[in-house]
Amino acid sequence: MAKDSYTGPLERVDDCLYRIPKGYKPGMRVEGRIFADGRLLEQIRGDQAPEQVANVAHLPGIQSASLAMPDIHWGYGFCIGGVCATDPEEGGVISPGGVGYDINCGVRLVRTNLALADVAEQIEQLTNRLFGRIPAGVGRGGPYEFAGKEMTRLLRDGSKFLKTKGLATDSDLEHTEAGGGFDDADPSAVSEKAIARGKGQCGTLGSGNHFLEIQVVEEICDQAAARTIGLELGGIAVMIHSGSRGLGYQVCDDALRTLRNAPARYGIRLPDRQLACAPVESPEGQRYLGAMRAAANYAWANRQLLMWQTREVFEEFFGKNWEALGMSLVYDVAHNIAKMEQHEVEGKVKRLCVHRKGATRAFPAGHPELPDRYRQIGQPVIIPGDMGRASWVLAGQPGAMQRSFGSSCHGAGRVMSRTAAIKHAQGRRIDRELAEQGIVARCRSWKGLAEEQPDAYKDVSLVVDVVHRAGLARRVARLRPLGVVKG
């Protein structure tokens, strides 16, 4: 095994679940559980992410188990793919490491009335047009700037503020998690440095694994759900993946500095200082939650503006307004966030702080937080894959409420670090390799494509298969990339 491989216990519970027993490390309050199957096990053992699952099990107030999704890989404090619910009434904590630096990094899917035949001969031109219009890359600003009172309103209200400026519709808000904004965000808890970093970045894609993709629906697994969502075989959709940019990064950085000594003040012993935390109901915990919610609102507004610019490009390219093109929002879901939610634990309904870091909400049919449109099928769960294979749309299942605090995977999951991916790409042209597969890829740098090459990721279909068989979310449709815009 590699030096950094996990060598601790992973006991098989069933076809889709492994456990780390509570007795593995002194101080674990609950066991660890990783949703996976034998095909993914070797990759999961390839880094120290399972060790992080065990470390999270030490957090005060943690409920049921420290959880990880099948796209698990190493992260800061928590693994990517980690889920943890804590009970404030039992001293439960909030930990910035359980949200991550890119607060409310998330995905939205836009359907269209277009078919593959409508874009097949023009995909390169359309991708180039999007690449020229959508601001992408490290530190790049965009056409929108928010400062002073406008920034305060953006942080307080998220996409709801954009509606007052004619940049969002009621339908857009209805089909965004939390209506596109937390009601209890606290802009005053966001530092001036964070605000300065976010001033001109709302409506920009950023870099790393963020992208905008033109996709074709290549497979329908659930006809009724796909029909409700608005997806048809051979139809064209657009997927947008981005987060809170420099503002969210700074909010996390500020919180980690503030909370560095909080565990000692509250008598909390941790196996990893990257798990810095504070009780949810403490002044420190409430301040971080207020700032995190404000950053999350910024992220929802960011994806809303990215979608708005995409609609404008399609309007110009096809000579029709976006409504005529059927460019409605399917759904927008966060995968780096902490939220207060109602969940049943051992027969008792509790109000819990659910951390999802690289994990997606997957509420089932009938859940009161879902739009009326999805009450019968469950929440759309949007799972991006790598830019050479596929992405998936799923629907939340009751099993998610029973087994994972209403959570699913969020993507394919890395199997190579960015450094390793760049080394693996030496002497290669990733854009040409993708072109041979019929995929047009545009990026600001060779390095950006090298870091995000398909080989750097697990096969998303294997990850989704585990989630489907585990009863967390069921497969609805598979979408293949046609045109990719990367930062």
Contact 482, 119 (CB under 8 A): yes
- The whole-angstrom separation of Cα 240 and Cα 315 is 18
Note the pLDDT of residue 1: 41
Contact 400, 359 (CB under 8 A): no
Q: Is the pLDDT of residue 318 over 50?
A: yes
Report the CATH fold assignment for 11-95+104-486. tRNA-splicing ligase RtcB (3.90.1860)
- The whole-angstrom separation of Cα 451 and Cα 455 is 9
CA 433 to chain centre: 27
- Reported as half-sphere exposure (CB side, CA atoms, 13 A), residue 35 has a value of 29
Note the pLDDT of residue 285: 98
Note the pLDDT of residue 3: 54
Positive/negative CA dihedral, 214, 216, 221, 225: positive
Is residue 33 left, alpha or beta, with left meaning phi > 0 and alpha meaning psi from -120 to 50?
beta
From the candidates 343, 410, 424, 468, give the one annotated as an active-site residue.
Answer: 410
What three-state secondary structure class fits 481?
strand
User: Both tokens of residue 202?
Assistant: 């709302």
**Residue 262: count of CB within 10 angstroms of its CB:** 21
- Angle CA 65–67–71, to nearest 5: 170
Residue 137 CB burial class (10 angstroms; 0-12, 13-18, ≥19): middle
- The whole-angstrom separation of Cα 110 and Cα 132 is 20
Q: Residue 210 catalytic?
A: no
- The whole-angstrom separation of Cα 118 and Cα 19 is 49
Domain boundaries of the chain, sorted by first residue: 11-95+104-486
Phi, psi dihedrals of residue 54, rounded to the nearest 5°? -65, -40
- Reported as half-sphere exposure (CB side, CA atoms, 13 A), residue 17 has a value of 18
Q: Express each pLDDT in 202-232 by its tens digit.
A: 999 998 899 999 999 999 999 999 999 999 9
451-469 per-residue burial string, b: 16 or more CB within 10 A, e: under 16: bbbbebbbbbbbbbbbbbb
Bridge partner residues of 19 (DSSP) = 11, 33
Note the pLDDT of residue 232: 98
Instruction: Give residue 446's pLDDT band: very low, low, confident or very high (50, 70, 90).
Output: confident
| Mean pLDDT along residues 231-242 | 98
Q: Is the pLDDT of residue 481 over 80?
A: yes
- The whole-angstrom separation of Cα 192 and Cα 190 is 7
Which residues 6+ apart lie within 8 Å of 22 measured at CB? 28, 29, 30, 31, 57
- The whole-angstrom separation of Cα 206 and Cα 204 is 6
- Give me the percent of the chain exceeding a pLDDT of 70: 99
Q: Express each pLDDT in 5-38 by its tens digit.
A: 999 999 999 999 999 999 999 999 999 999 999 9
| Mean pLDDT along residues 346-364 | 98
Q: Express each pLDDT in 163-199 by its tens digit.
A: 999 999 999 999 999 999 999 999 999 999 999 999 9
Contact 261, 354 (CB under 8 A): no
Alpha-carbon separation of residue 468 from 36, 81, 460, 474 (angstroms): 11, 16, 12, 5
Alpha-carbon separation of residue 67 from 84, 272, 408, 432, 467 (angstroms): 6, 17, 11, 39, 13
Q: What crossing angle do the helices spanning 283-318 and 148-157 adopt, rounded to 10°?
A: 100
160 membership: H or E segment, kind and range: helix 159-164
Place of tokens 């880094």: 47
- The whole-angstrom separation of Cα 192 and Cα 308 is 27
Q: What crossing angle do the helices spanning 123-133 and 283-318 adopt, rounded to 10°?
A: 130
Over the chain, what is the mean pLDDT? 96
Note the pLDDT of residue 327: 98
